Amino acid sequence: MEDKEARLTMMHLANLISVPMALHTAVKLDLPDLIWQGGANLPISPAQLASLIRAKFSLATEPDAVNLQRILRLLAGHGVFEEVPDHGNPPAKAFRLTDVGRTLVSDDQGLSLGAYVLQHHQDALVQAWTCLHESVIDSSQEAFKKAHGVSAYEYYGKDSACNSLMQRAMSGVSVPFVRALLESYDGFGSEGLKTVVDVGGSSGSCLAMILQRYPGLQGINFDLPEVVADAPRYQGVTHMGGNMFESVPAGDAIFMKWVLTTWSDDECKKILENCQKALPEKGKVIACEPVVPENTDNSERTRALLAGDIFVMATYSAKGKHRTESEYRNIGVAAGFTNFRALYVDHFYTLLEFIK
Ligand code: SAH
């Protein structure tokens, strides 16, 4: 690579923080819903958008259309918006959402990936990033704990705004995933399956979708007491508070999404041992976790998985991580499961079946 190119690449990497921060700004200002307009998604100029923002947030003055355009352009360069030239005089630009930007539009339940973007940029998490190097120097040092004195889960539990943003963020990511999962995976339809427990089920929204698809099933949504205390009611779902490191409620199958990732190998083994005890003979844990490939490449998928892995290091635990398929297999065997398979049902999450 030429010197010039190397310097350019490094200037890009050094400024890359602008991308998530611009994305955060776009979500905070509600740009996706303002542009989407119930599906119209017509190209809109920054000046028109500024007026919509003013009305939406009852601002005393009009937002700055020039600065707004700067945010839109950067995100257009990253595939969130499409920049459409406007042939007026003087020539201007207009923007609409791409399919990627569309993931930030609220659905009929008010859910979107926007809450995940907001949750990732809360002050508390941004401060944790500044302590990331501590986790590299000594993996017993959790960056989040260094910054705040308590773990992220304890922090969310004590702050009801954080707790509810966390639940919205989880549902916003997980509901579309589970909707797609249920179209291709029928493991919840197995004969004799009556009760499904969702371990670390957060609000219970994923479990509610599984029960909707299989109305004969009963569901237990199991999470920390302070989390289920705030959870909405869903048909067929019983919320139960507890600690998965002590025990998990008995069921014919255990669903567990995005839980193992945030814990160390030993902690995952403990959680899976407790699941094992709670299952009947041949019962299974159906886990959905990000699974990283053995080798690094620059594909979007690998980059997304490796970026999420560092988020886990900064926020949850220096020993929680995005694992490979063989790492999960080994933990399952250590926890006493006799069979394991990985199904690549989604680009971000892999479905892992641990069979007793
Ligand atoms: N399964 C949900 C939420 C994943 S976040 C989804 O994918 O959308 C991980 C969840 O684990 C959080 O809701 C958190 O409160 C829960 N959790 C953390 N520690 C726990 C514990 N000791 N026992 C039970 N649940 C726990």
Amino acid at residue number 311: F
Q: Please determine, for residue 124, whether its predicted confidence score (pLDDT) is greater than 80.
A: yes
**Three-state DSSP state, 133:** helix
In order of their start, the domains of the chain are: 3-102 (1.10.10.10), 114-355 (3.40.50.150)
Indicate if ligand 1 lies below 6 Å from the C-beta of 202.
yes
Q: Which amino acid is at 355?
A: I
22-65 per-position pLDDT tens digit: 999 999 999 999 999 999 999 999 999 999 999 999 999 999 99
What percentage of the chain carries pLDDT values higher than 70? 100
Residue 317: its pLDDT value, please? 82
Ligand 1 pocket, residue 243 CB under 6 Å: yes
Distance from Cα 259 to the centre of ligand 1, integer Å:
6
**pLDDT given for residue 319 in this prediction:** 87
Parallel, antiparallel or unpaired: strands 284-290 and 81-86? unpaired
User: Look-up: residue for tokens 């920390």?
Assistant: 224
Q: Whose CA is nearest to atom 4 of ligand 1?
A: 258
Quick check: 7 pLDDT over 80? Answer: yes
Number of the ligand 1 atom closest to the C-alpha atom of 170? 8
The label of the residue with tokens 């705004």 reads: 161
What's CA 201's distance to the chain center, in Å?
13
Q: Are strands 284-290 and 339-343 parallel, antiparallel or unpaired?
A: unpaired
Overall size of the chain counted in residues: 356
pLDDT tens for 152-195 read: 989 988 888 988 898 899 999 999 999 999 999 999 988 889 99
C-beta contacts of 142-149 below 8 A and 24+ residues apart: 142/316, 142/317, 142/318, 143/313, 143/314, 143/315, 143/318, 144/314, 144/315, 144/316, 148/124
How does the average pLDDT of the chain come out, rounded? 94
- Cα 232 to middle of ligand 1, angstroms: 16
Ligand 1 atom nearest 201 alpha carbon: 1
Provide Rg for the chain, Cα atoms.
Answer: 22
* pLDDT over 90 (residue 66): yes
Please give the distance, rounded to the nearest whole angstrom, from the Cα atom of residue 316 to the centre of ligand 1: 12
